[in-house]
Structure 1
Amino acid sequence: MVRGKTEIRRIENTARRLVTFTKRRNCLLKKAYELSVLCDAEVALIVFSSRGKLFEFSSSSAERTIERYKLQTGNGNGAKGIEKNVQHRRTEATDTANKIKTLESHYRKLLGEGLEGCSHDELLSLETQIVRSLQNIRGRKQSMSEEQIVQLNDKVRVLLEENVSLHQESHCRAEAQLQLRAGRDVDPTKNVEVETELELGRPGTREAK
């Protein structure tokens, strides 16, 4: 049976359209991979679905391939593309330098330097920024002080508990030493004097000695 030629137009059925997209996308990605391997070609493939989901394949780096493409297609001429890219980089460098210069000037003004050319509104704006910064700094300082106080109180509590524990241990040791000394002072082998009565001479007579 010979398959009929598929008409190339938008598939109206949503389910069929999604199935067709999945099949043909996978086939396209496979062909791109085969082309890069078999022919040693630099290939970058980017596909967005109708729902905005990205699918991509790159034999090396998609970003590098895109940059290479931009250089090669600048006004249809590679040299002009390179020149355009260089000019773009120079413009970016100039803009960055101007931004840095502006930030440095603003920083000096915040330090109270270079205020000669400032208008009244600019000085008022600087004053507002400095006041707001001082409020933030003081708030942060107060917060840190409170945290340090809490930490110090915790340390004091721990030290007091350790001190009480050490005092109790010292008291127990002292009592144990006293009991040990008291036990050593009693000598069970020592003679004990006992009063006795001894009778001498004839019976009926008693001489105490």
Structure 2
Amino acid sequence: MARKKIPIKKIDNINARQVTFSKRRKGLFKKAHELSTLCDAEIALIVFSATSKLFEYATSSMHQILERRNRHSGIQDNPSIGQQLGSGTFGMLRKEIEDKTEELSQLNGKDLGGLTIQELQKLEELLQGRWTTISKIKDEKIIEEINRLKTKEAELTEENQKLKQSFVRKQRQSYESITRSSSDLPPDYGCLYLNET
């Protein structure tokens, strides 16, 4: 069965548009990763959603790839082009990437010397909030695992009981068959045997 070809135009339904964006973005990043792996290429992708959320993918450092792109196109050699791009989207993206890189570095406990007391307190509150969230998720996972193990224990206990009952039943049947076969012998069987010899 062939897949239906959809027309390439803006999707009117907001939910369908968001789902399509998410799937296609993941597919685009996957293709970029495959191209990078297969061809040993350096790739940087920057995507803004309709809600202005930034998504990026880079095979190495985004900053290094952008610098390499600038050197290759001669942006740094020509200040007027660099200034034009710096004041536009490219400059915004570069600033946002630098801010996110710095924020990530600070969350990892690096480059904290230049922060004020208020900035350090904000960072501490942020980390404590994340720690609380992580602890809650960890506790939920532990409870889930305990419940799963209790369910497994109950199943194994029930199976064990069934096996015990089956074993006792088989022993009883075996005992009864031995008792029946011995009761089928004549009471004087041993005596008859002696008299014949």
For normalisation by structure 2, the TM-score amounts to: 0.49
- Which protein shows a greater Rg? 1
Structure richer in helix, relative to its length: 2
